[in-house]
Amino acid sequence: MILWGVLMNEEKYQNVDGLMEAFQQFARMNWRKTTIWGLKPSEVRMLVSLKLGKEREGKKGQTVSEISKFLKVTSPTVTQMLNSLIAQGYVVRTSDAQDRRVSEITLTEKGEHLAEMAVTKSRNTFKGMIDYMGKEQTDTLMELLNGVYVYFEELNDQPNES
């Protein structure tokens, strides 16, 4: 009986290497590393975040902490990206009239245009994936990926074991 349990466990985990390889394929792909329109992918994500935040919350701009929370990166990381985007004319930073310590980040016309292009490109890419895989497989994939995300979030919330 114990041998059967061991065999079942081995069978259960026989896909571990294949699963690891499947995830590593995404890490090796260039789609996350290449620059788009002269910007890093992280900078494009920030522009899109500002655009979607504007649409989602009806606010013209967002604070660094709001952007940080949405993108799940630290405030210093956001500030570094913002400085680059400000220098290139995609966003502006204005101080809050009531609290000068708070800055509001808004898209310029140039930033709004690029964010719209990025959203359109992204939606078209995922529409292509739906066409390629079919709606049923895409729905299953979406459900599975959301489950994987929850798993890794729970894993990150556990204390590190050394």
What average pLDDT does range 88-97 have in this prediction?
89
13-27 confidence digits (pLDDT tens)? 888 888 888 888 877
Closest CA to 66 of 76, 58, 77, 75: 75
DSSP letters along 31-75, please?
GGTS-BTTB-HHHHHHHHHHHHHHHHH--S-B-HHHHHHHHTS-H
44-53 confidence digits (pLDDT tens)? 999 998 998 8
Q: What angle do helix axes 41-57 and 109-133 make, rounded to 10 degrees?
A: 100
Q: Please say whether the beta carbons of 115 and 109 come within 8 A.
A: no
| pLDDT interval class at 34 (50, 70, 90) | low
105 forms beta bridges with 62, 93
- Compute the mean pLDDT over every residue in the chain, rounded to the nearest whole number: 85
User: What is the pLDDT, as a whole number, of residue 5?
Assistant: 53
Q: Please say whether the beta carbons of 42 and 81 come within 8 A.
A: yes
Backbone angles phi, psi at 29, to 5 degrees: -70, 150
Closest CA to 103 of 140, 64, 70, 146: 64
Backbone angles phi, psi at 104, to 5 degrees: -110, 130
In the predicted structure, residue 74 carries a pLDDT above the cut 60: yes
Task: Determine if the pTM surpasses 0.85.
Answer: no
